[in-house]
Every structure is written in structure tokens, then in C-alpha cells.
Amino acid sequence: MKRASAKRVGERIAARSAAPEAAPAGPPVAIDIAVLVPCYNEERSVGKVVQDFQAALPDATVYVYDNNSSDGTAEIARAAGAQVFHEPHQGKGYVVRRMFTDIDADVYVLVDGDATYDAPSARKMIDRLLTERLDMVVAARVDREVAAYRAGHRAGNRLLTGFVANTFGNVFTDILSGYRVFSRRFVKSFPVLSGGFEIETELTIHALELDLPVGEIETPYYARLEGSASKLNTWRDGFRILFTIVNLYRAERPLPFFSGIAVALAAISVGLAVPVFITFVETGLVPRLPTAVLSTGLMLLAFLAFSVGMVLDTVTRGRREAKLFAYLAQRAPGQNRRRSAPERGKR
């Protein structure tokens, strides 16, 4: 009897192992798409932007954040069907920070409110984001009209894009594009620090620094509507963007940054010290004592700069790890949300 009972138990265990119970499939989860439109005095174009993206992405929610506009931007956006909010801190970076903080979605489409970007391209950008499980897809602008891309802006963009490519990696051809699609894990782990138009540069360098999966798609770029003016100043904002790149390079690449300073100081020190040393060898005297002191001081500063680079490099590695932990804490693009307890209980 004991052997028969043991045999039956063994058969039941083998049957369960051979045909495990299938896990209940959860219901399909729709993708929440948020279209984020930062605006400042865009009453001429914001209505068209809202309508175009509603037509291109009928299941998406369009959010317009008004940044202290003095015209009817907010009213026109609301009448067009967008959800309108206000951000009192002046600057596109502040608006993007508020948007990323407030809005909860699976996919985010960031676009300017000047009606220069192609709304139908958003579907292609989102499809690539989800299919390839990317975290950011940038729209590389291909101008369709002569007036769309001013010569100064084009030259500045090429210069800054080349600088970023040589410093952080050659991935993008248009780092200043204001038309991008993001995953949730990018948005919710990105620490927005800039306050102005340099936000696009910060977004790009953040992705390159962490080696995030990103892509780029060429999209049409059109001229502004008649009566609409660009808020971007070529020289002022160009220098701000360049300063942001240099500052981010110092923060993210401290060892090569301060090593370069150390090498320059050491070279000047050696250049000053050589004549003093030759005179000392020939005469046994140091007639130019101030030069000798200056040379010694510069060499000490060179060693100090190199030491600072070494220390900050260790700190930067810790910061990068913290960013990656925040990034990995979010779900991947295209990954369904975990079902709630009541849903898991349904059979």
C-alpha cells in the first residue's frame, strides 16, 4: 500500500511538472501618449499645433504650458482642445522641468508651439521608440522652405553638434531640435538643470553620457506662420548653449577637463623655469627670483588641478551610478504596467 501510494504521489508530481498551469494573461494595456507643448506668445500658431497633433495622434492628450505669455496663447490653446497649465518661471528649461514633473504617461512627445515641426512624423517616431525599445528619438530637421532655417541658426547648430559629437559621441546630427519623443523611464529619471533654450543640449548630453538607446529620424521643418517671431536669439542663446556644453563637459568629464588645465599650467611653468635653470647651472645664481617663484607656483597649481580632476572623476562616477539606478527603476518602453491586485485576482 505504501509503495502504491508513493507511486501515485510521484505520478501527480510528474504530471504537474510536465503540464504547468498557464499564468493568466492580463488584459491589453493601452499606451498613454502625452504631447507636451511649451509656449510663450504663440497665439498665431498654437491652435494649429494642437489641432495637427490631435489629428496625428487621436489617442494622445495635448498639454500646453503657457510661460507668462502676454497674448492669447492660453485661450486659443484651450479652445483648440488642449489642457492648459501655467509656469511662472521664465525660460523653456523651467517649463520642460514642470512638464516632466507633472505629466504621467508612457510616451512623451515634446514639440515647440511655433508650428514649424511636422505632426504626422510623431507616429513614426513613436513606432520606432516602441519597436526598438529606445528612450529618445530626435527629429532631425530637413527644411522645406528657405525661410525655415536661418543661416545663423544653421551654422551655430552645425558647430555645436560637431563639438558635442567630438566630446560625447557622434550619434545625432541635430542636437538643438525641439521635436523629440521620450520613454517614461527617460523623463522620470532626467534631472533638468537648465532654465533656457539650452535644455535640448542637456537632454542630448544626458542620453549620450549614460549610453542610453536613442535614435534619430529626419522630419520636415517649415517656416513660421506669418506674424509669428522666433524667441531664439542667435548670439545670446548660442553662447548660453556653448557655455552649457563646456559646463557639462567639466561636470561629466572632470579628469580630462582638469588634466588639460594641468598640462597647460605645467607647460607654462617649464617654459619659465628653463632660462632660470640654465642661468643657475652656468653661474650658480638665481638672479630672477620672482620668475622662479612664479614657475614653482604654476607647477603646484598644475598638480592641484590634476588632483581635483582625480577626485571629481570619482564623484562623477557615483553620480552616474545614481542616475542609472533612477533610470533602471522605471519600466522599459513598450512594457505593460503591472496589473493591480484586483486585476491579478481575476481568473
Amino acid at 137: V
pLDDT of residue 332: 74
Would you say 40 and 69 are in contact if contact means Cβ atoms under 8 Å apart? yes
Q: Residues 152, 154, 156, 157: what is their CA dihedral angle, to the nearest 10 degrees?
A: 160
pLDDT tens digits, the chain, 347 residues: what are they? 444 444 454 454 444 444 444 434 433 457 899 999 999 999 999 999 999 999 999 999 999 999 999 999 999 999 999 999 999 999 999 999 999 999 999 999 999 998 899 999 999 999 999 999 999 999 998 876 554 555 556 666 777 777 777 777 778 888 889 999 999 999 999 988 877 777 888 899 889 888 899 999 999 998 877 665 665 666 676 677 777 778 878 887 899 999 999 999 999 999 999 988 888 888 888 788 888 899 999 999 999 999 999 999 999 888 888 888 888 888 777 665 544 334 444 43
Would you say 92 and 38 are in contact if contact means Cβ atoms under 8 Å apart? yes
| Partners of 217 in beta bridges | 139
* Cα angle 109, 111, 117; round to 5: 115
Going by their DSSP bridges, the two strands 180-183 and 136-143 should be labelled as antiparallel
Extract the C-alpha cell encoding 52: 495637427
pLDDT of residue 336: 57
* Cα angle 219, 224, 230; round to 5: 105
pLDDT of residue 150: 56
pLDDT of residue 151: 54
pLDDT of residue 169: 76
Query: Angle at which helices 92-102 and 199-209 pack, to 10 degrees?
Result: 60
- Cα dist from 9 to 19, 21, 61, 180, whole Å: 16, 18, 57, 60
Full-model pTM: 0.74
pLDDT of residue 57: 95
Written in H, E and C, the secondary structure of the chain is: CHHHHHHHHHHHHHHHHHCCCCCCCCCCCCCCEEEEEEECCCCCCHHHHHHHHHHHCCCCEEEEEECCCCCCHHHHHHHHCCEEEECCCCCHHHHHHHHHHHCCCCEEEECCCCCCECCCHHHHHHHHHHHCCCCEEEEEEEECCCCCCCHHHHHHHHHHHHHHHHHHCCCCCCCCCCCEEEEHHHHCCCCCCCCCCCHHHHHHHHHHHCCCCEEEEEEEECCCCCCCCCCCCHHHHHHHHHHHHHHHHHHHCHHHHHHHHHHHHHHHHHHHHHHHHHHHHHHCCCCCHHHHHHHHHHHHHHHHHHHHHHHHHHHHHHHHHHHHHHHHCCCCCCCCCCCCHHHHHCC
